[in-house]
């Protein structure tokens, strides 16, 4: 099975200065399998991008490289104009700033939806409870599940949990 190949053909000169994530000639192999093949992709600040492809084509691998959860064999990835750090405190800061939801994720079953969304803000960002509560409600509203804030994960559909 061949890997994913993503190219973004349309980009204006003004957008180039506002690119937040840039992948340039990115390649990744798993043994003989060439999963990411010469990926060139620019994602502007505020832009929403959807990566679609068959199972096993490299979609998750592509996403994982942006958070350095997966190393690349060649090419470069920059975030806000800076090349991704390979390790240490800078990498930890990157991971604190780049949010990802994986296909297999876990919510704390003993916490409500609202408490699950507040937790990262309070533990990682050291946000006070009132501010985390307000932000969490805003985020839940944004993804259409604010009415589910006081429910526990087992009371939600899979799609609601993922949002």
Give the number of other CB atoms < 10 A from CB of residue 53: 13
Residue 1: is its pLDDT beyond 50?
no
Average pLDDT, the chain: 81
The more confidently predicted of residues 4 and 8 is: 4
Mean pLDDT of 139-159: 85
- pLDDT digit string, tens, across residues 121-132: 898 889 999 999
Homologous superfamily assigned to 13-97: P-loop containing nucleotide triphosphate hydrolases (3.40.50.300)
Check residue 90 and give its pLDDT. Answer: 78
Burial class (CB in 10 A: 0-12, 13-18, 19+), 65: buried
pLDDT band at 105, cuts 50/70/90? Answer: low
CATH 3.40.50.300 residue ranges in the chain?
13-97
61, 27 contact by CB (below 8 A): no
Q: Give me 2's structure tokens.
A: 């061949």
Beta-sheet strand order (sheet of 74-79): 33-44, 19-30, 74-79, 82-83
Alpha helices in the chain (DSSP H): 13-16, 59-66, 88-97, 113-123, 129-142, 158-162
Phi, psi of 56 (to 5 degrees): 85, 5
Q: pLDDT tens for residues 16-67?
A: 568 889 999 999 998 888 999 999 999 998 888 878 887 778 888 898 888 8
């Amino acid at each position: 099975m061949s890997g994913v190949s993503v190219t973004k053909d349309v980009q204006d000169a003004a957008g180039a200065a506002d690119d937040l994530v840039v992948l340039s000639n990115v390649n990744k192999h798993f043994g003989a399998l060439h999963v990411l093949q010469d990926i060139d992709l620019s994602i502007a600040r505020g832009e929403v991008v959807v990566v679609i492809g068959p199972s096993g084509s490299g979609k998750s691998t592509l996403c994982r490289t942006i958070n350095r959860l997966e190393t690349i064999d060649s090419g470069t990835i920059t975030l806000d104009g800076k090349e991704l750090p390979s390790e240490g405190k800078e990498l930890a800061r990157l991971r604190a700033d780049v949010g990802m939801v994986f296909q297999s994720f876990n919510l704390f079953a003993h916490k409500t939806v609202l408490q699950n969304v507040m937790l990262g803000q309070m533990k990682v960002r050291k946000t006070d409870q009132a501010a985390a509560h307000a932000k969490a409600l805003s985020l839940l509203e944004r993804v259409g599940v604010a009415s589910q804030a006081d429910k526990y994960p087992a009371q939600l559909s899979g799609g609601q949990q993922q949002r």
